[in-house]
Amino acid sequence: MRGAKQVASPNCDARPFGVEAELIVVHGISLPPGEFGGPWIEQFFTNTLPLDAHPYFAEIGDLKVSSHLVIARYGDLTQFVSFDHRAWHAGQSNYRGRSACNDFSIGIELEGVDTLAYESAQYDTLGAVIAALCDAYPRLSPDRVVGHSDISPGRKTDPGPAFDWGCARERVAAARQ
């Protein structure tokens, strides 16, 4: 993605043959939980997280996780996986009766937690990214944007009640004009 810092994650693979991106999944992430900044998310997505740096890291150290994009608190954008590949962001998931959402989705992580408002700069970047993705991929649309909690109910809560869906839709609409 133009303007994004590029960091390759090994935690990805090819999409199934003939499958294209047709869903955008918005996530929330902070490492350690509730803390922002630092190298931890990038290290987590590249399997270089030092497990002794925080007690929580030992709990998640065996996970192989990635996302296509991460939007930091002040709107900075990092791309970890090509949009043409499958990032490992959704896990066990279902969208309108179709399981394995990683196969057909693009994952966007926002640095944040469920209960703290996301930053205006994050909504600006998210709106621009979603608009660009919808222009580039014909099966995507602003109506096909969901939260991780929507496709993994009971298992995941992000991006959480602090995420302002109305604000996100407004920023997408503004970016598409």
Instruction: Dump pLDDT digits (tens) for 143-177.
Output: 999 999 999 999 999 999 999 999 999 999 999 99
CA distances to 22, 26, 115, 172, 174 from 143, rounded to whole Å, are: 10, 13, 24, 11, 15
Question: How far is Cα 66 from Cα 86, in angstroms, rounded to an integer?
Answer: 9
Active-site hit among 22, 42, 59, 109: 109
Question: How far is Cα 12 from Cα 155, in angstroms, rounded to an integer?
Answer: 22
Q: How many CB atoms are closer than 10 A to CB 40?
A: 20
Q: Which of 87, 85, 89, 77 is nearest to 132 (CA)?
A: 77
Q: Is 171 helix (H, G, I), strand (E, B) or coil?
A: helix
Please state, rounded to an integer, the average pLDDT across all residues of the chain: 97
Alpha helices in the chain (DSSP H): 40-45, 55-60, 120-136, 148-151, 165-176
Q: What is the CATH number of the domain that holds 33?
A: 3.40.80.10
Residue-wise pLDDT tens digits, 31-55: 999 999 999 999 999 999 999 999 9
Say how many domains are in the chain: 1
pTM (global) more than 0.95: yes
**For tokens 């179709």, what's the residue?**
98
Give the range of the structural domain holding residue 165, as residue numbers without chain letter: 5-176
Please indicate whether residue 20 is annotated as part of the active site: no
